[in-house]
Structure 1
Amino acid sequence: MKTIQPLPLPFRGIVPPMITPLADENQLDIPGLERLINHIIAGGVHGLFILGTTGESTSLSYDIRHELVKRTCAIVNGRVPVLVGITDTAATESLRLADTAAKEGAAAVVAAPPYYFSLGQPELIEYYEYLVERLSLPLFLYNMPSHTKIVIEPDTVKTLSQYDNIVGLKDSSANNAYFNKVMAKMKDRQDFSLFVGPEEIMAETVLLGAHGGVNGGANMFPELYVKLYAAAESGDLETVKRLHAIVMQISTKMYSLGQFGSSYLKGIKGALSLLGICSDYMASPLHRFREKEREILAEQLKEIQQQL
């Protein structure tokens, strides 16, 4: 097992949910992975999150998931903490991936609720207790109700935070009322990290006391999101307004191209391909943008770049 530096608590900053560069259905784009990781870290991010929703984790074979953990930790080489998504319908697979993460030097793991059976909150608490009792790495809860059908209720977050090894929450619900309730519940736990996924609300949540963002756009423009986070943390409202406007352009244009539920992910992968960083191949059942959308995306990318 490799030695890692313990996470500072609370953990703060911009932690991009990295896309998974693929050469085809069964192979990573290794040169692209290295370019992507170096590109993201060069932007000043505070950590890296792999095998989340943006990383297409549930569409990847177990072999690729384990290989991605190994290669990512080797390429990062301790420059920033690596967080590994271990969400699965089978707890044994989650624990197996967590074991690989620990052996390769990851700093923490991240787990959303299992996404087949609709668990009640007592069952959800038991599930996370089962995991945490068997994990050697710190665990972040991951609230993603649109994909899992389950909300990790604020009271459940509070209950689970009593475990020393459960150190934070990533909320991708885009529900400000929910997130503010969680912050209110956790106001006496300054060591418990609260992150939001949707970049459209990252700045305002940080202004209100959140610890950072797990924002997909930081795959493409890491420095933009780092600067926006820093401005929000310091209360620099003029800079927040200016940079947030660019983030909203990315959201409304690059993430909304075509009639696809996966336009957000197609947009990020397509842009990274246009930037010459990595392949835009997507694991089945998803597929990359065709030429028509790609041409529009290229124009949108140029427009954004001119504002940076």
Structure 2
Amino acid sequence: MPAKLRKTPLEGIVVPMCTPLVGNDQLDREGLQRLTESLLAAGVGGLFLLGSTGEGPSVNDSTKRDLVRRVCQQTAGRVPVLVCVTDAAWGDALSLARHAADCDADAIVFAPPYYFKPSQRDLYEFASQLIDASPLPTVLYNMPGFTHCEFEAETVKRLLDDSQVIGVKDSSGDLDYFEAIAGLVRQRDDCSLFMGPEELLSQAMSLGADGGVCGGGNVQPQLFVDWHRALAEGRLDDAATLQRRVAELGKIYRVPSDATSPFIVGIKTALELSGVCSGMPALPSQRPSRAQREEIASKLVEIGVLQA
């Protein structure tokens, strides 16, 4: 089956959406609706489902499918929807890709399979076969911190020969690697490049990034949209001011320091305190302590997200 073309170019702030939960593998459906609408209202460039911030590896298949269906229905083509299908099992990744296509998502995203660390030769075969079989175009996702395997530059170069690869997201935090991948992506005029860590967006844009996949955009989407726009338009003083605000928001990510994923717990707690959705994380993560929750609330008051 030929891959569908994406509806619009991939650029700007693509928010890696949290997966609102009210119990183990139970979606907070009303919260999900509010979160989705708040992101769309801010003018984000796209929605990225079931990535690291979306706790994709920690929710079951039926929850993933329900999430994808609901977000695609609500989005209704207003922005591209990207679905992460990363899995250790090739067939399960393809099954979710087909479901994403059935829901009218725009692209799949996948990182290297985890548990058994593949060689680059094996990774290329895994990826190329998934790209060929997927009914949707693909964004490659380099996330060695979690998968313990990197899409090496030569492997990316080979995979970019396939026109169904429409983007690369790099979350390694390695700017030398990012610059090398930027050089490969620039050889095509129909491929996008995204930075994962939000604190590196400014440097990434100077190296040719089309945008960022910024978890903090769940909490303050307009801030990130404005920041990207300032960078893209060369308004560096404005961008620097906005980046300082982004850094202040980032302080909440470090508060639940004993959590499995402090970043996710911090963001979800902020969303709950803001009245957007439940802050329950997926297991094995736990909610923050009362003291941690109060500290997050205090920081949100300081930056104007909450009223005192």
Counterpart position of 1:249: 248
Counterpart position of 1:58: 57
| Partner amino acid, structure 1, of 2:88 | T
Question: Any residues of structure 2 matched to 1:1-12 within 5 Å, and which?
Answer: 6-9=6-9, 11-12=10-11
Deviations along 1:189-226, whole A, 9 cap, x unmatched?
Answer: 23211101110011221132111000000001011111
Q: 2: CA distance between counterparts of 1:182 and 1:131? A: 21
Q: 1: CA distance between counterparts of 2:97 and 2:112? A: 15
- Residue 5 of structure 1 deviates from its aligned partner by 7.0
- Residue 306 of structure 1 deviates from its aligned partner by 6.6
Q: 1: CA distance between counterparts of 2:5 and 2:176? A: 34
Structure 1: any 5+ residue segments left out of the alignment? Answer: none
Question: Any residues of structure 2 matched to 1:256-271 within 5 Å, and which?
Answer: 256-260=254-258, 261-271=260-270
- Residue 17 of structure 1 deviates from its aligned partner by 0.2
Q: 1: CA distance between counterparts of 2:276 and 2:305? A: 19
Is the 1:19–1:55 Cα contact (8 Å) retained in structure 2? yes
Q: 2: CA distance between counterparts of 1:83 and 1:186? A: 19
Q: 1: CA distance between counterparts of 2:117 and 2:153? A: 17
- RMSD over aligned CA atoms reads 1.4
Counterpart position of 1:127: 126
- Residue 8 of structure 1 deviates from its aligned partner by 3.6
Question: Any residues of structure 2 matched to 1:54-93 within 5 Å, and which?
Answer: 54-93=53-92
TM-score between both structures, scaled by the size of structure 2: 0.95
Q: Is the partner of 1:48 in helix, strand or coil? A: strand
Deviations along 1:83-117, whole A, 9 cap, x unmatched?
Answer: 00100111111111111100111000000000111
Is 1:163 equivalent to 2:162 in the alignment? Answer: yes
Q: 1: CA distance between counterparts of 2:49 and 2:28? A: 15
Counterpart position of 2:34: 35
Is the 1:171–1:197 Cα contact (8 Å) retained in structure 2? yes
Using a 3 Å threshold, how does the CA distance of structure 1 residues 147 and 227 change in structure 2: closer, same or farther? same
Using a 3 Å threshold, how does the CA distance of structure 1 residues 125 and 273 change in structure 2: closer, same or farther? same
TM-score between both structures, scaled by the size of structure 1: 0.95
Is the 1:204–1:232 Cα contact (8 Å) retained in structure 2? no
| Partner amino acid, structure 2, of 1:233 | A
Q: 1: CA distance between counterparts of 2:42 and 2:257? A: 31
Q: Is the partner of 1:189 in helix, strand or coil? A: coil
Is the 1:19–1:54 Cα contact (8 Å) retained in structure 2? yes
Q: Is the partner of 1:16 in helix, strand or coil? A: strand
| Partner amino acid, structure 1, of 2:253 | Y
Q: Is the partner of 2:242 in helix, strand or coil? A: helix
Q: 2: CA distance between counterparts of 1:160 and 1:271? A: 38
Q: 1: CA distance between counterparts of 2:84 and 2:71? A: 13
Q: Is the partner of 2:186 in helix, strand or coil? A: coil
Is the 1:207–1:233 Cα contact (8 Å) retained in structure 2? no
Is 1:292 equivalent to 2:280 in the alignment? Answer: no
Q: 2: CA distance between counterparts of 1:214 and 1:306? A: 21
Is the 2:227–2:243 Cα contact (8 Å) retained in structure 1? yes
- Residue 28 of structure 1 deviates from its aligned partner by 0.3
- Residue 248 of structure 1 deviates from its aligned partner by 1.3
- Residue 183 of structure 1 deviates from its aligned partner by 1.1
